[in-house]
Amino acid sequence: MIIDFRVRAPFRGYENNFLFTHLDRVEQDTLTRVDSKVSPSAKNFSLPALLEEAAAAGVTRMVVPVRRNHGNFNRELAELVEEYPDRFVGLAGINIANLEEAREEIGRYVLEGPLSGIVLEPGQDATPWFANAPWALPLYAFCEEAGVPVVFTFGGIMTKSLRYYDPLLIDDIAAAFPRLKIALCHGGWPHVTACCQIALNRGNVWLAPDIYMVRSPGMADYIMAANHLLRERIIFASAYPILPLDKAVEAYRTCGLSEASLPYVMGKNAAAFLGLEMGDAAAR
């Protein structure tokens, strides 16, 4: 079973997204990582082609986040998951600035709807914010109590300042809300070692390095962590359409992960974070 933890799927929520409207730049960036062009499903913005690509790559489930700063497409994402419940897992984009609205959307789309968690992007929102801001804490408390996993886009290059990806921001949250499941897409890169320490010290933090586990500075630390101290806390993700699914799977399988750690990284850890039943997910 392979669960891809970060797939920007070609559905309405991403039709005007930079990653699809500027594929030439994405492709140039991809060439530096896996010597591969973007996949036809991305070039044609084709959901059926993506499903075929996933099947060919052995990807069982794809986790799709909504980027709230690009529009409110939670309803469309819910429709996608309802149409393909055995292929897609959805993460709702939340307006962090309005706590009442945030709770309402979590209730509608996660607690009473088909989505499995929420995604927050403090360093990429139109007005960036620090993840441990006091005004955000009530939302984390609400999610902890309701059992809603929180995924942060945390790390990478798309931010106005690296200070928004200070690992101590996540450490503060993980310590204050020890029952809150937290995952970091982009794995906190470039703060690799510090984020690995936080994931080790706080049992409620997972790391999904996605493209930063492929030919990036610091990737050796992710691999070392996955093979030893953090075998149950590192999660595979392609960051599609940046990487084609088959190239991402191949990159992870050949990067140095041990045979013992591969099943955890490629599927078990994502299933544990999302609360998926392994047997059910594998059967699908």
Q: What is the mean pLDDT of residues 97-124?
A: 94
- Stretch 150-168: mean pLDDT, rounded? 92
- pLDDT reading at 63 higher than 50: yes
- pLDDT for 4-31, tens place per residue? 999 999 998 888 888 888 888 877 776 6
Whether residue 183 has pLDDT greater than 80: yes
| Per-residue pLDDT reduced to its tens digit, 103-113 | 999 999 999 99
Alpha-carbon torsion (259, 248, 80, 145), positive or negative: positive
pLDDT-derived band at 282 (thresholds 50, 70, 90) equals: very low
pLDDT for the residue numbered 31: 65
Q: Taking residues 205-214, what's their average pLDDT? A: 96
In the prediction, which pLDDT does 279 show?
A: 56
pLDDT for the residue 281: 47
Report, as an integer, the average pLDDT of 218-235: 98
Give the residue, 27 or 81, on which the prediction is more confident.
Answer: 81
pLDDT at 32: 64
Which band of pLDDT confidence, cut at 50, 70 and 90, is reported for residue 126? Answer: confident
CATH of domain 3-283: 3.20.20.140
* Residue, of 36 and 225, whose pLDDT is higher: 225
Average pLDDT of the chain to the nearest whole number? 92
